[in-house]
Chain A
Amino acid sequence: MKPGGAELKWIDYSSPETLAEALSLLNEHQKDAGILAGGTDLIVKMRADRINPGQIIDIKSIPELNQVNINSNNDLTIGSAIPCYKIYNNDDIMNLRPELKDSASIIGGTQIQGRASFGGNICNAAPSADSVPLLISLGATCNVQSVNGERTIALEDLFSGPGQTVLEPNELLISITIPKKSDLSGANYIRFIPRNEMDIAVVGTGVSVTLSSNKKNFESVRVSLASVGPTPIFVDGIDKEVSGQEINDESIRVVSNMAKNASKPISDMRGTAEFRQHLCEVLTRRALITAIERAKEA
């Protein structure tokens, strides 16, 4: 056996240039189809014999999946096939959502970022996906289409288990929309890894905060966690506790403890459940403080 697994079995490959063509092909092949954007998860899984698609559908030539759009309301829509480096090298995205660099620049290394997309990171549905917590905290929604029509799914509702989403076998993720940014808001994603780079999050925390007009109180706080449950976790109910509260050590501690209590980690080779719960508190506090600083500067 070759390093990294066996040679791949016979597959058919298609690179449709229109969305209609891609959706029709996906509808025809359903679960036998493998969607190829950057391939940094798909090809690895195929080589390790974890999946065996007979039909590869390369989605990189489809215009809708490669567009960045900022509408008049400042909602940002990012095509699902756009690789990470095109996100943090895009001035329009960075002006509107500089925090996206936090996650886009730490998914794999430089070479992986040359291929891997947010759409792929999302659909791969790893509980540790680095792009997801920040996007959930920003209120991102997934624009999904099939031959039967289209629907929008809140990102926190997309995941049903490790590697599992609620997408039907004939549905394709077209793009991700991040709603309008409030002027007094900021966000941050940080993770804990034992190495400096190129590692899978032991815990990851995405935090988005909106401040009151005097910049002294919380208006809204959204927190999402990676690697502490079977899916990425959205920490529900934080606004009920801290909306309107003054920003101080106590209210920050309320948020970070809620994140800790929302986590449902397991113990594995990357860390014990207890350690991960502790990390949830620490990382949420740190990410929240950075998000507040960014909101004040914004």
Chain B
Amino acid sequence: MTQSKTYVRCTINGEDTEFLCEPRQSLLECLRDVLRLTGTKEGCNDGNCGACTIMLDDRIVTSCLVLGVEVNGKTITTIEGMASPEGLHPVQQAFLEEAALQCGICTPGFLIASKALLDTNPNPTEEEIRFWLANNLCRCTGYDKIVRAVVKAGEKIREG
């Protein structure tokens, strides 16, 4: 078979998007290196750290363990799609207010994962939050501030 790039068409952050990639390229590589959406971070590149977390259709996944060619026809949300022109998403605002980040590499993944949780369960217990976020590693905060931020974001979202 000739080695040619594959055409992929999908929806990213609400926009119809087309790109060419090699079948070996991960979705993470496609987002960062092909589409220049560098908000999604590369950490471990083997599914453990969660820094590259994105929404793929209705579910969060680690984009390092998805091939770019797999997302033809799919809907993707990355950190670039979280804030609106009106301002930050309540989860982002809560992370700022609770100082739930330091170096920032894990933050896009935590924000995507936290929003996904609150979208389906706006009033999670601390245990539910920690269980849901177990696939996201942070070496700076010690997690408590992140958990507090998710609780606060949930309160804001419930207030409307």
Measured CB to CB, the nearest residue on chain A to B70 is A58
Measured CB to CB, the nearest residue on chain B to A2 is B45
Asked whether B46 lies within 8 Å of A39 as measured between CB atoms, the reply is: no
Asked whether A111 lies within 8 Å of B44 as measured between CB atoms, the reply is: no
Q: Given contacts A5-B45, A40-B47, is CB(A114)–CB(B24) below 8 Å?
A: no
A144: chain B residues at CB < 8 Å are none
Asked whether B62 lies within 8 Å of A197 as measured between CB atoms, the reply is: no
Asked whether B6 lies within 8 Å of A115 as measured between CB atoms, the reply is: no
Q: Does A250 contact B (CB under 8 A)?
A: no
Within 8 A of A (CB), among B13-69: 22-26, 29, 42-48, 50, 53, 56, 59-62, 64-67, 69
From DSSP, what is the main secondary structure of chain A's interface residues? loop
B43: chain A residues at CB < 8 Å are 3
From DSSP, what is the main secondary structure of chain B's interface residues? mixed
Q: Does A213 contact B (CB under 8 A)?
A: no
Q: Does A179 contact B (CB under 8 A)?
A: no
Measured CB to CB, the nearest residue on chain A to B132 is A110
Q: Which of B44, B66, B67, B69 touches A3 (beta carbons < 8 Å)?
A: B44
Asked whether B22 lies within 8 Å of A111 as measured between CB atoms, the reply is: no
Q: How far, in angstroms, from A8 to B67 measured CA to CA in the complex?
A: 11
Q: How far, in angstroms, from A44 to B135 measured CA to CA in the complex?
A: 16
Q: Does A149 contact B (CB under 8 A)?
A: no
Q: How far, in angstroms, from A114 to B76 measured CA to CA in the complex?
A: 14
Asked whether A4 lies within 8 Å of B1 as measured between CB atoms, the reply is: no
A12: chain B residues at CB < 8 Å are 1, 23
Q: Which of A3, A43, A114 touches B60 (beta carbons < 8 Å)?
A: A114
B29: chain A residues at CB < 8 Å are 7
Q: Which of B3, B67, B130 touches A43 (beta carbons < 8 Å)?
A: B67
Q: Which of A3, A7, A115, A197 touches B61 (beta carbons < 8 Å)?
A: A115
Q: Which of B45, B50, B131 has most A Cβ within 10 Å? A: B45
How many chain A residues touch B (CB < 8 A): the figure is: 35
Within 8 A of B (CB), among A45-84: 47-48, 56, 58, 60, 83
Q: How far, in angstroms, from A18 to B58 measured CA to CA in the complex?
A: 24
A7: chain B residues at CB < 8 Å are 24, 29
Q: Does A280 contact B (CB under 8 A)?
A: no
A47: chain B residues at CB < 8 Å are 45-46
Give the number of residue pairs across the A-B interface with Cβ within 8 Å. Answer: 100
Within the complex, the shortest CB–CB distance from B61 to chain A, in Å, comes to 5
Measured CB to CB, the nearest residue on chain B to A42 is B65
Asked whether B64 lies within 8 Å of A4 as measured between CB atoms, the reply is: yes
B133: chain A residues at CB < 8 Å are 109-110
How many chain B residues touch A (CB < 8 A): the figure is: 38
Asked whether B135 lies within 8 Å of A85 as measured between CB atoms, the reply is: no
Within the complex, the shortest CB–CB distance from B11 to chain A, in Å, comes to 18
Q: How far, in angstroms, from A15 to B135 measured CA to CA in the complex?
A: 28
Q: How far, in angstroms, from A39 to B63 measured CA to CA in the complex?
A: 11
Asked whether B23 lies within 8 Å of A13 as measured between CB atoms, the reply is: yes
Within the complex, the shortest CB–CB distance from B42 to chain A, in Å, comes to 7
Q: Given contacts A10-B3, A198-B135, is CB(A111)–CB(B69) below 8 Å?
A: no
Q: Does B111 contact A (CB under 8 A)?
A: no
Q: Does B79 contact A (CB under 8 A)?
A: no
Q: How far, in angstroms, from A39 to B56 measured CA to CA in the complex?
A: 14
Asked whether A110 lies within 8 Å of B69 as measured between CB atoms, the reply is: no
A112: chain B residues at CB < 8 Å are 47, 62, 65, 135
Q: Given contacts A12-B1, A13-B6, is CB(A56)–CB(B23) below 8 Å?
A: yes
Q: Does B88 contact A (CB under 8 A)?
A: no
Q: Does A196 contact B (CB under 8 A)?
A: yes
A96: chain B residues at CB < 8 Å are none
A11-B24, A48-B46 are known; give 4 further A-B pairs, CB within 8 A: A11-B23, A13-B67, A110-B60, A110-B134
Q: List 30 A-B contacts (CB under 8 A).
A: A3-B42, A3-B44, A7-B29, A8-B26, A10-B3, A10-B22, A12-B23, A38-B65, A40-B47, A40-B65, A43-B64, A43-B67, A44-B65, A47-B45, A58-B67, A83-B59, A110-B60, A110-B116, A110-B132, A110-B135, A111-B53, A111-B60, A111-B113, A114-B61, A115-B62, A115-B65, A196-B130, A196-B134, A197-B131, A197-B134
Across the A-B interface, the 8 shortest Cβ-Cβ residue pairs: A109-B135, A4-B45, A13-B23, A197-B134, A8-B24, A114-B59, A4-B46, A109-B134
